[in-house]
Structure 1
């Protein structure tokens, strides 16, 4: 490491913050930036990265905390139970400081606090006296995930980032070994790792760009037709497993058009695939019994028994791919000579890509998120929001990878949460489980093709206005615990409707949210949280924010506020 690394990193941080996240507080941006580099192998999107920021009062020495199961970022309360035995469960803990060295005190904090935070028998009411709400919720989610999975392989990574550090004191490394021992004492079967990221190491991470070119080795030369860009071939199971596996040995989530959560688990179809993989018959190849997978890429270059793919995405075959990846965990067999059928299509045009995804998944129960992105209503929302200088990520990481400003990117999850809060008036669902938006009953309600496009802009603007207002209180509260309830009340107040429809909301898409109005409505939520705490004994705000009964009472108060304000206005 050298002093030049410090200068280069400072320049990079200043440039990146100005370009992509100028509204984030500087300390949050530093953690966001380091997390983005450190977690590249997991392909997180901007929502994933922002959700892990826990810096502030009572943070126990933790600035960022992230949970991944087989490369899926766990940031809501939906149980992850479908990934089978021996799934990879990774807990990543970050501390990022704009300092010139690593201190033993920073490690000591984690040595003391992590055993308390990661204790299945912990008392959360006691924890709340010295731990902030976001950190309590994140560690609870980790513990629940660990219990719900079937004998997961647990890895705990602790990384200390020091933006101006150029050296590491030997005694600090000794302390790191002590922290690893503490983690082993907490979870006997885990693989702990403590790393120190100085300016040089962080610069190296920045230079490591995820490969956009992937090579797929075929068992034989592929078959192609007169139509350029389409190939059919068979790939040895081991070679295909290598293609879908990341550098850390995990299933590479970045290859899948669908969310890895779309894996359906122990269904009859998947058990059949498992049995076929486990029963290696010398006279029957795997691809004879399986529909195979479909891959699209922006460019395909053949070279004998190999295809060079630029920005490949597996758009059909998540179930087959996951079972092939998992088979090595179930069996220690030597190289498997069988093959899987693979279709590879060059599709640089977005519309063609959508047609391929629709067609290749029309006969399957493929997870919903990949199909939702191709819906006409999703494309229309994207086009409309572009006119408002907002970038709608109907496809995961599309604008994030292009380095667009984070505060101008709106994900499908976030849009669903805003509509659930403002017009469906279920902010507790939005807070608890963002993934619910893909369920048929919810999706068809939220993303109905007859809804006016201006209403989607209004909903996301109301949610953003809530976040902006609450950011002034971020050192005392978790913004997530209030933003959805506040957006709901703002929708009622500005549309002047007890149950505003999407057409009502379309009329207020550019309405200004007065600070005085937000403050009045915020006080309603606080009062109802306080009342519910006294009545139920629940003191953790995230649990109140996810409670349907609390929403019902806040909704009644909001409607009462509307009635009283209407009378005072002579309406």
Structure 2
């Protein structure tokens, strides 16, 4: 990193690299990943792994490309197909990044960045790298299959470390770029192009790494009945301008701009402004000035880890809006609409009030019960509901209480560890846990990546049982973490990442001999878990398994140059390929790592 870079930025980059176990990247690359993280997580409120967005090569004019479907990163055509298979009319976003450690804003660099974005959509950037080629295929799949009802949105962030004073040449460049992009007629009307500097990066990084907080006025709060798991709770109603403070991010003047998606348990992207019921609600508010809204609406429920009350003012920290996604969107549209342009003067329509419950609790189990109770009607969140089962609580507590080297942070609720000083690479989401189990314990690597939802359904009564030993679940997650650590620090060839679930499966086969773990005696299960952990800790041994497994798979595929990445993924996701792979593991790997076998 350049010596004159802002010292606060330097410190934040160093902290981010440490928490993410990013050691092998060059300083300029660490800054690129840091800036992507700060913007996506701190500014946009997305729960996204920045390394999945960062481009690994020297691509022309661009350092990161995020293709987001319902807020989740997709990196290739197969992942697009997986996402849209379960979602009608998905929310789709393209986000581009170019980061420079210089404190200067260079016209030539900005021009290259804007040209690269245009080239991406015209197909001319695909040859820059395999990664961009796969993203191009994903983009094509999106436009072929997923944009029948609404166009994707697009955002572009050019980042440096100085103060941007809006020079006329670069501002004209921005305007010309927006016209070019708009003229393609393939995007939503709201095109965001931002020139970012040190001040914004610092603020957004802090927002991404600290617990969310807000201060609201709640003048008619009524204290709710006592409960053993509740420190304090209130019920009543609040005005629209106070509600908006809870789910928007303020600009430099304190005015609300943009929805902070991270505070919602409900998926904020599922809001459809054109749905009949939402139009009716909005129209009713506009027609009578909002006086009827408090009587017609079910209201908002907020759960906070900390509430500090001073009179009618409430400062709340580490909170989520667990119910009220639709209401919040409607209110946001109203107070930012043409009808109420006086928003910036602070005179939001005073007659719009919303029923409101504020619950202060640090008990995760109780918080989970509130989430389930207020969201059961929403089928989209089914995967999160199974993550709230009693077994998962036991697993979560165990996985973060083991020796420091073996710790895993199981994220039962999205953004659960936001604001906590934890090594982010050790955070495991429920979907990742299920995929690791499918490969390591159920020996189904061909289904792990795409059909894990089917596995959840198929094994619903046989996994996550109260009597199960949490250690075997922990071992599978730890192995996934250790492999990710090797890849992100370039300790094994990145091409092997395509085969990650076969590698995890190979370890499971080595240790168990393909026996049903859950039918073993307790001491045997303990030994299986311990040996999987030991393989994960043995960096040289794990690297050897990665290399041998990769050679086995590539040997079965043949000359990789004859196949596209999509074709390779199709091959390895077939049951016949999986069966052949297991035969090869038995014959070629078992003897090499026999010391880890549990007989």
Both proteins in one fold, TM over 0.5: yes
Equivalent in the alignment of 1:43: 45
Q: Which moved more, 1:321-330 or 1:229-238?
A: 321-330
Equivalent in the alignment of 1:482: 499
Report if aligned partners of 1:297, 1:344 keep a CA contact under 8 Å in 2: yes
Change in Cα spacing, 1:61 to 1:81, as seen in structure 2 (3 Å) is farther
Change in Cα spacing, 1:324 to 1:439, as seen in structure 2 (3 Å) is farther
Equivalent in the alignment of 1:422: 440
Equivalent in the alignment of 2:57: 56
2:581 is equivalent to residue 557 of structure 1: yes
Mapping 1:154-553, distance limit 5 Å: 155-162=153-160, 175-187=173-185, 190-199=189-198, 202-203=201-202, 205-206=204-205, 212-217=212-217, 221-225=220-224, 227=226, 229-236=232-239, 240-241=243-244, 243-247=246-250, 249-260=257-268, 263=270, 272=277, 275-279=280-284, 285-302=292-309, 307-322=314-329, 325=332, 337=351, 339-361=353-375, 367-386=381-400, 387=402, 388-427=406-445, 429-432=447-450, 436=453, 440-441=457-458, 447-468=464-485, 477=494, 480-497=497-514, 505-506=528-529, 508-512=531-535, 513-530=541-558, 534=562, 539-542=563-566, 544-545=568-569, 549-550=573-574, 552-553=576-577
Distance 2:130 2:99 in 1: 20
What does the per-residue CA deviation read over 1:71-109, in whole Å, with 9 as the maximum and x for residues that have no partner?
Answer: x34445312986879x6x542211224456555554454
Equivalent in the alignment of 1:133: 130
Report if aligned partners of 1:62, 1:94 keep a CA contact under 8 Å in 2: yes
Q: Which moved more, 1:488-497 or 1:95-104?
A: 95-104
Instruction: Report how far residue 398 of structure 1 moved.
Output: 2.9
Number of matched pairs? 550
Distance 2:132 2:519 in 1: 35
What does the per-residue CA deviation read over 1:107-159, in whole Å, with 9 as the maximum and x for residues that have no partner?
Answer: 4544444334224xx5xxx975x233333334544555566256547543322
Change in Cα spacing, 1:136 to 1:564, as seen in structure 2 (3 Å) is closer
Change in Cα spacing, 1:542 to 1:500, as seen in structure 2 (3 Å) is farther
Report if aligned partners of 1:157, 1:194 keep a CA contact under 8 Å in 2: yes
Instruction: Report how far residue 34 of structure 1 moved.
Output: 1.0
Instruction: Report how far residue 522 of structure 1 moved.
Output: 0.6
SS of equivalent residue, structure 1 residue 510: helix
What does the per-residue CA deviation read over 1:502-551, in whole Å, with 9 as the maximum and x for residues that have no partner?
Answer: 966535332324433321211122234446985xxxx3325532566546
Mapping 1:86-125, distance limit 5 Å: 90-99=93-102, 101-104=104-107, 106-119=109-122, 122=123
RMSD between aligned residues:
4.6
Report if aligned partners of 1:431, 1:480 keep a CA contact under 8 Å in 2: no
Report if aligned partners of 2:411, 2:428 keep a CA contact under 8 Å in 1: yes
Distance 1:101 1:348 in 2: 46
Q: Which moved more, 1:481-490 or 1:2-11?
A: 2-11
SS of equivalent residue, structure 1 residue 508: helix
Change in Cα spacing, 1:255 to 1:166, as seen in structure 2 (3 Å) is closer
Equivalent in the alignment of 2:33: 32
SS of equivalent residue, structure 1 residue 509: helix
SS of equivalent residue, structure 1 residue 396: coil
Instruction: Report how far residue 244 of structure 1 moved.
Output: 3.1
Distance 2:54 2:434 in 1: 22
Change in Cα spacing, 1:206 to 1:514, as seen in structure 2 (3 Å) is closer
SS of equivalent residue, structure 1 residue 298: strand
What does the per-residue CA deviation read over 1:456-506, in whole Å, with 9 as the maximum and x for residues that have no partner?
Answer: 222123334444555687997555422223222332234322777696653
Q: Which moved more, 1:224-233 or 1:501-510?
A: 501-510
Report if aligned partners of 2:116, 2:125 keep a CA contact under 8 Å in 1: no
Distance 1:43 1:138 in 2: 22
Instruction: Report how far residue 402 of structure 1 moved.
Output: 1.3
Change in Cα spacing, 1:20 to 1:561, as seen in structure 2 (3 Å) is closer
Distance 1:551 1:472 in 2: 32
Change in Cα spacing, 1:96 to 1:215, as seen in structure 2 (3 Å) is same
Instruction: Report how far residue 231 of structure 1 moved.
Output: 1.4
SS of equivalent residue, structure 1 residue 560: helix
Report if aligned partners of 1:101, 1:167 keep a CA contact under 8 Å in 2: no
Report if aligned partners of 1:82, 1:264 keep a CA contact under 8 Å in 2: no
SS of equivalent residue, structure 2 residue 60: coil
